[in-house]
Amino acid sequence: MYGLGIIKGIGVTFKHMIDTYIEDIKWGVKRYTTDEGFTYRQSPETRGLITVQYPEEKMAVPERFRYIPFLVTNEPDDPEAPNHDWCTSCGICAKVCPPQCIWIVRGSDPQTGRPIPEPEAFFIDIDICMNCGYCAEFCPFDAIKMDHDYEIASYDRTTSHVHDKAKLAKPISYWQTIAPTRAEQERLAREHKEAAKAARKAG
Amino acid sequence: MTDSNPEVTSPEAVSTDVYETLIQKFPGVVERDTREGYTGIIVRDRDKLVEVATAIRDDLGYDLLSNACGVDYLAEDKLEMVYHAYSVERGGPALVFKAQTPRDVAALPSLVSVWPSTDFQEREAYDLYGIHFSGHPNLKRILMWEGFDGHPMRKDWREPFYEEDQKPFKSRWPGGHVQRAEMHVPYGMNVQYPEGFSVDQWAPEAEQAVYAALGTPTTETGTDFSQIKTDQMVVNLGPQHPSTHGVFRMAVTLDGETVTALEPVMGYLHRNHEKIGERNTWLGNMPYTDRLDYLTSMSNNLAYALTVEKMLGQEVPYRAEVIRVLMAELTRIASHFWFFGFFLNDLGAFLTPSVYGIAERDLILDLFESVAGSRMMCNYMRFGGVAFDMPPYVGGPAVRENDRGRNIETMKYIKDLVYERLPRVIDQFDTYLTNNEILMTRCRGVGYLAPDRAIAYGVTGPMLRAAGIPYDIRRSDPYSIYNELDFEIPVTYNSDLYDRYLIRVEEVRQSIRILQQIVPRLEETEGQEYWAGKRAYNVRVPAGEQYGHGENPKGELGFYCISDGGANPYRYHVRSPSFVNLTALEEMSRGNKVADLVVILGAIDIVLGEVDR
Q: What is the DSSP string of B321-335?
A: HHHHHHHHHHHHHHH
Nearest CA in chain B to A96: B537
Selection from B265, B454, B282, B470 nearest residue B382 by Cα = B282
Cβ separation B172–A12 shorter than 8 A: no
Strand (E) or helix (H) holding B123: helix B118-129
Same domain, A73 and A4: no
- C-alpha span between B253 and B183 (Å, rounded): 45
Cβ separation A60–B399 shorter than 8 A: yes
Nearest CA in chain B to A13: B432
Same domain, A47 and A76: no
Helical ranges in chain A per DSSP H: 4-27, 30-33, 35-41, 92-96, 134-138, 157-160, 165-168, 172-178, 180-202
Cβ separation A64–B373 shorter than 8 A: yes
pLDDT at B3: 45
What is the torsional sign of CA B241, B242, B248, B249?
negative
How close is the nearest chain B Cα to the Cα of A62, in Å? 4
Selection from B260, B265, B273, B217 nearest residue B237 by Cα = B265
Instruction: Find the CB nearest B431 among A8, A43, A58.
Output: A8
Positions in chain B short of pLDDT 50: 1-12
DSSP assignment of B256-315 = TTEEEEEEEE--TT---HHHHHHHS-TTTHHHHHHTSSTT-HHHHHHHHHHHHHHHHT--
Domain count, chain A: 2
Nearest CA in chain A to B430: A9
- C-alpha span between B66 and B48 (Å, rounded): 21
Query: Which residues on chain B are in Cβ contact (under 8 Å) with A120?
Result: none
Contact B609, B574 (CB under 8 A): no
Same domain, A41 and A98: no
Could you tell me which residues come within 8 angstroms of residue B465 by beta carbon, excluding any fewer than 6 positions away? B471, B472, B489, B490, B491, B492, B503, B507
Give pLDDT tens digits for B275-327: 999 999 999 999 999 999 899 999 999 999 999 999 988 889 999 999 999 99
**Which of A60, A76, A99 is a domain's end point?**
A60
Same domain, A24 and A86: no
Same domain, A183 and A161: yes
Give pLDDT tens digits for B438-451: 888 888 888 899 99
Same domain, A97 and A174: yes
Question: Which residue type is seen at B499?
Answer: D
pLDDT at B245: 79
Query: Which residues on chain A are in Cβ contact (under 8 Å) with B356?
Result: 16
- C-alpha span between B585 and B600 (Å, rounded): 8
Looking at the DSSP bridge assignments, the partners of residue B65 are: B85
Contact B370, B295 (CB under 8 A): no
Instruction: Find the CB nearest A131 among B163, B363, B377.
Output: B377
Q: How many CB pairs below 8 A link A and B?
A: 206
Query: Which residues on chain B are in Cβ contact (under 8 Å) with A104?
Result: 172-174, 176
Contact A85, A71 (CB under 8 A): yes
Same domain, A113 and A183: yes
Strand (E) or helix (H) holding B101: strand B95-102
Q: What are phi and psi of A70, to 5 degrees?
A: -135, 165
pLDDT at B9: 42
- C-alpha span between A133 and B532 (Å, rounded): 20
Euclidean distance between the first and the last CA atom of chain A, given in angstroms as a whole number: 87
pLDDT at B220: 53
Query: Which residue of B182, B389, B406, B433 is the best one to mutate when testing the A interface, meaning the one whose CB has the most A CBs within 10 A?
Result: B406
Q: Is B32 exposed, middle or buried (0-12, 13-18, 19+ CB in 10 A)?
A: middle
Q: Residue by residue, what is the 3-state secondary structure of B354-384?
A: HHHHHHHHHHHHHHHHHHHCCCCCCCCEECC
- C-alpha span between B222 and A115 (Å, rounded): 82
Whole-angstrom CA distances from B366 to A62, B228, B341, B394, B428 are 9, 57, 19, 7, 21
Looking at the DSSP bridge assignments, the partners of residue B262 are: B252
Same domain, A174 and A82: yes
Cβ separation A123–B178 shorter than 8 A: yes
Instruction: Find the CB nearest A138 among B393, B407, B537.
Output: B537
- C-alpha span between B205 and B183 (Å, rounded): 33
Same domain, A17 and A116: no
Cβ separation B172–A13 shorter than 8 A: no
A172 pLDDT more than 60: yes
Instruction: Find the CB nearest A91 among B174, B286, B406.
Output: B174
- C-alpha span between B474 and B483 (Å, rounded): 8
Q: What is the three-class DSSP state of B6?
A: coil
Check whether the bond before A98 is cis (ω within 30° of 0). no
Cβ separation A104–B173 shorter than 8 A: yes
- C-alpha span between B316 and B307 (Å, rounded): 13
How close is the nearest chain B Cα to the Cα of A85, in Å? 17
pLDDT at B21: 85
Contact B547, B556 (CB under 8 A): no
Instruction: Find the CB nearest A137 among B387, B420, B432.
Output: B387
Q: What is the three-class DSSP state of B547?
A: strand
Query: Which residues on chain A are in Cβ contact (under 8 Å) with B434?
Result: 5
Could you tell me which residues come within 8 angstroms of residue A198 by beta carbon, excluding any fewer than 6 positions away? none
Looking at the DSSP bridge assignments, the partners of residue B97 are: B41, B83
How close is the nearest chain A Cα to the Cα of B409, in Å? 11
pTM of the model: 0.90
Query: Which residues on chain A are in Cβ contact (under 8 Å) with B178?
Result: 103, 123, 125, 162, 164
Q: Could you give the angle at the alpha carbon of B392 between the alpha carbons of B389 and B393, nearest 5°?
A: 120
CATH of the domain at A111: 3.30.70.3270
Euclidean distance between the first and the last CA atom of chain B, given in angstroms as a whole number: 36
- Counting Cα atoms < 13 Å in the Cβ hemisphere of B285 gives 32
Query: Which residues on chain B are in Cβ contact (under 8 Å) with A2?
Result: 437
Whole-angstrom CA distances from A68 to A140, A161, B288, B367 are 19, 11, 17, 21
Cβ separation B169–A92 shorter than 8 A: no
pLDDT at B227: 64
Same domain, A127 and A108: yes
Could you tell me which residues come within 8 angstroms of residue B517 by beta carbon, excluding any fewer than 6 positions away? B485, B486
Query: Which residues on chain A are in Cβ contact (under 8 Å) with B337?
Result: none
Whole-angstrom CA distances from B406 to A177, A178, B396, B399, B476 are 15, 14, 6, 11, 42
Selection from B552, B608, B470 nearest residue B64 by Cα = B470
Cβ separation B369–A149 shorter than 8 A: no
Whole-angstrom CA distances from B438 to A177, B152, B599 are 54, 47, 13
Selection from B548, B462, B576, B461 nearest residue B94 by Cα = B548
Cβ separation A105–B177 shorter than 8 A: yes
Looking at the DSSP bridge assignments, the partners of residue B575 are: B558
Q: What are phi and psi of B97, to 5 degrees?
A: -135, 155
- Which residues span the domain enclosing A21? 1-60
Instruction: Find the CB nearest A5 among B173, B402, B435.
Output: B435
Cβ separation A60–B407 shorter than 8 A: no
Same domain, A56 and A81: no
Domains and CATH numbers, chain B: 16-134 (3.30.460.80), 273-612 (1.10.645.10)
pLDDT at B228: 63
Question: Which residue type is seen at B93?
Answer: P
Instruction: Find the CB nearest B417 among A4, A38, A44.
Output: A44
pLDDT at B320: 92
pLDDT at B15: 60
- C-alpha span between B228 and B379 (Å, rounded): 58
Cβ separation B372–A64 shorter than 8 A: yes
Contact B510, B538 (CB under 8 A): no
- C-alpha span between B325 and B329 (Å, rounded): 6
Instruction: Find the CB nearest B404 among A13, A35, A95.
Output: A35
- C-alpha span between B174 and A117 (Å, rounded): 12
- C-alpha span between B151 and A103 (Å, rounded): 31
Query: Which residues on chain B are in Cβ contact (under 8 Å) with A125?
Result: 178, 180
Selection from B326, B331, B352 nearest residue B340 by Cα = B352
- C-alpha span between B380 and B329 (Å, rounded): 14
Strand (E) or helix (H) holding B434: none
pLDDT at B7: 43
Query: Which residues on chain A are in Cβ contact (under 8 Å) with B404?
Result: 35, 38-39, 52, 57-60
Helical ranges in B422-576 per DSSP H: 422-429, 437-443, 451-456, 462-465, 473-476, 497-524
Same domain, A105 and A52: no
Cβ separation B406–A95 shorter than 8 A: no
Selection from B282, B549, B593, B574 nearest residue B447 by Cα = B593
Question: Which residue type is seen at A24?
Answer: D
Q: Is B542 left (phi over 0), alpha (psi -120 to 50) or beta?
A: beta
Q: Could you give the angle at the alpha carbon of B510 between the alpha carbons of B508 and B514, nearest 5°?
A: 115
Q: What are phi and psi of A166, to 5 degrees?
A: -65, -40
